[in-house]
Every structure is written in structure tokens, then in C-alpha cells.
Structure 1
Amino acid sequence: MLHLNYKELLNADLQKYISENEAIDVQSLILKAEKIHGSSTTLIAHQITGRRKAKYKLPTWYRTPQIVYPPSLNLEQSSSEATAEYKKQFLIRHVSNRAKAIDLTAGFGIDTFCFSKIFNRVDYVDRNEELLAIAQHNHQQLGATNISYHPRSAEEMISESTHWDFIYIDPSRRDEQAKKLVRLTDTQPNVVELQTTLLEKTDHILIKTSPLLDIQAALRELKFVKTVTVLSVDNECKELLFFISRNSDSPPTIEAVNIESSSQHQHFEFKWEVETEASVPFSDPLNFIYEPNASILKAGAFKSIALKFSLTKLSKSTHLYTSSHLIENFPGRSFKVIKLQPDASDFATIPQRQINVTTRNYPLSPEEIKKKYKLKDGGEQFLIGCSGIDKKYLVLAELIKQRP
């Protein structure tokens, strides 16, 4: 494991070198020299790699001078700035009293920093003292002055007879062998066992979990869940968020949110009870086809999305939808159908035989389709392989660009 003494990384010449050599081949750097400006090239390579990742994941950290990056696993597991900012805005809407908050598994401190913008005081808790020191230094560079730091476990911290207006917890999802865990009861700390104690200390809890977690299984284990948020960035599912409000007694609202690079949010919400009882008509592909975003698919809103936009579904197990006229602002991708069941002559007219191939509930994979019809990736058009009620379809289509 790489140990970081962050103070040795604050040398002005070293910081300039890291900033100016962001594009360098880090493996060649390590082989070329043992030390640069008094620091090991392994340590420098690690900082350059971290800075590259931060450019898109943590743009404010990337732009701020003298930021120190943690070991790769801690950076990988941290929230992105976009998801942390979403959580901040969520709490503004759902938590009215914002005097004191606590982040019980603070890690690199991305969420902690965003919480510090809306709470008077925030407690950062992590028993990894090296990581704590890095986070504290970075928070100072970012201008945060209302965060207190506690090198303790979540269980030790929560045992104090203190009340917080809000508790945030992102339990570790890897075991001692770094194997990924997806069940709530396997995480550290065990939030299922800890939830009663947490509810004695606050009225509001937000639990961040793996996007692989079974939502319905988690709801059976957690009490007083008010809202479940499936959070994606650019259509890649990143987090599940369970917002617990003490004594909430109504079925939770499930929110599917997709944060796009353009700063636009696709937002869809539904109730699971409505989803399970809903009935949706089926039809063959019509003039337009719709593919819900990753958050909607993970949330399981397969019928609710059809009802909301008055769409028909291709089949029970094919999560594609269709309509005769265009539905604006659909939360996902919208396609205009050019031709059903295209033949060899249609493919011959495609420039350089380049096309984007995607499948839903279809016997051939995109690679197998491309091989069969001698197609290549790219171009402007799409070929969608899908199953209807009693027929398999290939659909030649073009993507409809969303209005900003």
C-alpha cells in the first residue's frame, strides 16, 4: 500500500512539475528516475494519475492549487463532484434545520465539503488518519472552515450522546481482500444493525450504496425510508441513495435521476405500488422508439414510464417503448424509425457501412450483428435489435437530439 506524507508534496517546484506533466507516461517516469524535487517518482506518478481522474470527476479540486490526491481506491470510491452537489441540493429541499451534520464514513471528503456549504457545522469521521489528514488539507485549500475532524470509527463516534440534524453514511463495500460487496448486511459499518442507534441521534439519514444493490431487498431491511434515488451521471449508474426520515409511514418515492454533462438533469419519480399494479399495452415498433436512461431501468419503472408518456411497450421483457408521434423530453434516448427489418441493400447505402448497433432482448449481440452484416462502429445511424411480442426486429433508426 502506498503511504502518503502529504506535506512533502506541497513543495512549490514539485507542484509545478505535477501540473505541467499531467500528460506524461507515468510508467516511464518511474523507470527514468528515483526522485524528482526530493520526492519519489512513484509518489509523483500517483499524484499525476489522481489529477487526471480529478479533471472530470472533481473539477473544483482539479482547479484548486496544492490539492493532494489519496490512494487510487479511495479516489475511485469517492463521490464525484456532480453527485455530491446533487446530494447538497437534495438536502436543501428535504432538511430544514441545518445546524449540525455528520459524515460517518468521510473518506476523501468530497461529500463532507459539499455538506459544509449548507450546514453550520459538519463532523468528518474516518479512522484512516492518513486519509483524514489529506482531506483536512484539501478542505483548507478549498476554503472550508466549519468542518471538525475525528479519527475514529463510525460506531465509536455515534456512541456519543450527541444529536445531529443530519447523518450521512457511505459504508465500505469491499472486504479485507478488496472484494466488492453488494448486500447491506455485509458492508462496514453494518447500516442495518446500526440504523436504530442512528435514529436515536437524528431525524434524517442518507445512506449511499452500490448501484448493484437490490433496491427492494434494501427496503425490506431499512426502516422509515422516505425516498430512494437512483443517481446516474451521463447515463452511467453511480449511486443508490436511501433517505430516511424518522417516523415516515408512507411508501417511499423512487426517483430516477440522470445528471448530464450539459448540467441538465433528467428526473423521473414513481411509487413501487403503482408500478406493480399497472398495466401497459404492447405493440410492434411504430414511428418512434424510446430507450429509458440507466436510472429508470435500475429503478424498475418499466410500466410507470410508459404510463407517464402514453407509450406502448414492445414486449414484457423488452424495455423499449414506441409511439406514432414524437414525445418531447423523454428521459433517455429517442429514435426516429427509418425502416423495419432492413436488408443488405439498405446496409449498402450506409456510408462506409458504419453504424451504431445496440440490442435489447435480442438473440444476437451487437458484435454478432456487425459480423453478420459486415458493419463497422460509428456513423450517424443506429441499428436496434429487439424482440416484440412474437417477432424479432432489426430497426434502422436515427437518434433524435434533445433540445437543451
Structure 2
Amino acid sequence: MSHTGKLRVLMAGTGLLLMAGPAFSLDGADLLAKINAATGMSGTPVTAQSVDVNGTTVTLRGATYKPMPAEEAMAIGDITLEGVQEEDDGGYFIETVTLPDLSMREEETTVTVADISMTNVTVPADVTGGTLDSVLVYEEAATGPVNVSVDGKSLFSLASATSTTEIADDNSSIGFDVEVAGIKADLSTVEDPKAREAIQSLGLTSIDGSMTMSGDWQAADGLVNIEDYTLDFANVGTLSTSLSFSGYTLDFIKAAEETSRAMQPAAGKQAQDAAGLAMLGLMQRLTFNSAEISFQDAGLTNRALDYAGKEQGVSGNTMAQMLKGMTPLLLAQYNVPELQNMVSQAVNTYLDNPGNFIISAAPENPVPFPMIMGAAMGAPNTLPDVLGVTVEANRRQ
């Protein structure tokens, strides 16, 4: 497996193992089987050399994680589950799941993840139903420090990550919140001279920030509301996104998982082609409701103008004026006069005094994804009207 692939497996495995859990005293094999079924993956992604039961504590000894049958299994170690109860319906409830600290090294790169845990995990007895009773859920999943280092020098780290969920009283929806604190990256070691000059000019030698996300998912109609997804970096800015779409039901998720497995290289080209068409068919089930993306500047814009201007032999202010003039000319070729005017006005307002820049899509009625795809291919100039796109700058918050 490639270096990048192994690191991806480690990070993905950490998250998915957090969403796995184990079970109850009487039948360790049954517990592990239901955990694997709840992951929605083929084969047995989570294995253990033995399952030890001591009262309400279950330990998966020598656990490994293998996301795909063709992938290399990753050694995890002993996973401890405390406060395990077998439910009347054959499912399991686990008060606490604790994973050992993970560490992986390949050549000069080392990735570590510490303090991995989950609380109040429910493992379903049957994953074939169409309700939330057939989904593995948890109240909280968390990790402590995560670090990626090369030759002993930390290049990326985060202090902690926490994900919490809350199921509605009528079992119809799940609310979720995610917080990632202390995100740090060191770009000072970039070797390419041109890239290093750009990083230094933009003030991105080291970055420090956080990420938050909140929203909910309604199982019956597959309505996903990502109310807020925000990346906030000091002396750079805040990028916020919201998104709402429908059709992401449990049936859709299962079909998408099956199709995705068929698209793996081991499936063969014919199967991959068929799966690709099937995935396009699945997209017809989704409906777009609304979206918004905004950027709140914290100094990056003027530094970017100064750097771009320097490359052209002009000042940052002159570069801003050049961009103002270029914007309507670039948009004119797309034959969207109303959008052209909106964008030009927003760009002028923003460059005069960088504050926030906001792009919204709010159609009067939900738009099926096939209609969006058809407009994009047949008449792209109609997309702004189809999606109800607006662009503005320096909106009062």
C-alpha cells in the first residue's frame, strides 16, 4: 500500500472504529458480528484475537481494522468496552468504549492519535430496517491530541476532536455537533522556493484555528441540514458553509455503500462501469434545498493583493483595481447579466474594504439533482436562476 494510502487508512480507521463498539457478556462472537454489520462494510472490518468478558466489561484483545477486503489490516490493540448490556431485541448498549493510543510510522512520517473514546453506544440487533433502530449511534465520540510529524518535526496537529449526537424523542431524527480545537499546521518546511515565498507573503507559515459543525438528519425523507460548518483560522479568516438537501435516506445510504464497493479496483472494469452508472441513478433521488458559503476576512485578502500585485509589478491597491475591471469582462462570456452585475458589485464592495463575501443559493422550491445536472450540461447560464443564486459583500451580521 502507498504511504498516503496507509495514512488515510489510519485516520479513517480511527473514526470508524470509534463508530464501532462491542457488546455483551454472553456471546462475544455475536457482539462482534453485530458491530461489523453496523459498520455497513463488506467482510469483517473489525477482528479480534479473542473476546474476553468480565462482568459488564468486554475486551477485544488484539483488535485489527480492515476497511476493505483488499486493504492491509491495521493493528489497533485492545479495545475496552465497559458497562455493556444486552438489550431485549438482541442489540447492545455500551456505556464507554476506549481504544488504545494509535501510532503509525512509515519512513520519516509518524502519525499518532491519543485518548480515543466513545460513550453511550447503541449497537443495533438488525441493520436491515429503515429506521434509526437499525443504525449504530453514540452520544459522544472523542479523541485527544492528533499529530503528524516528519523527521520528528510536527507538521500538523490538533488538540482535540469531539462529536456528539442527540436522537429525537420520537426517534425520527439525529442532531449532531462536531468541535475540533487547536488545529495547527507548520508550512515553514515547504521546499519549493516559489511556494515558500507565497506562504511567507500570505502569512501562512504557521496556521492556528478550529472547526465546528452542527446540523441534523431526518431519517424518513433523508433531509440533511448542515446548519453551520465553520473553519476559523487566526489572522486568515473564517470560512462558513451551510447546506440542505433531501433524499439521503437509509435505503439511499445502503445502496450507495453497495455501489461504492462495486467501484473498487478489485471489482473489474465492467463492474466499475456499471457501478458508475448506478451511482448516477442514485443521484436522481437527491433534492437540493439551499446552500450558503461565506468568508469573513481577517487580514488574508490584503496580503494576497499585495503578493499578487508584487508578481505583476504593481501595488496591492492597483491589483485590486485591476480585479474590479477584470470581473465583469470574465463573467460576460457566460451570458448571465444579472449574476454578472451582482458579482461585480460585490467584488467592488469587498475589495474596497475586505469584510465578508457571501454566495447563497436559495431556490423558491427544492430542485432535484437531475435538473441541476441537466442545466449544467445543456444551459449553464440558467443555473443561477434555477438555484436562486445571490452574491453580496460586507453583509451586516
> Do they superpose with TM above 0.5?
no
Question: What TM-score, normalized by structure 2, do the two folds share?
Answer: 0.27
Flag the structure with higher strand content: 2
Question: What TM-score, normalized by structure 1, do the two folds share?
Answer: 0.26
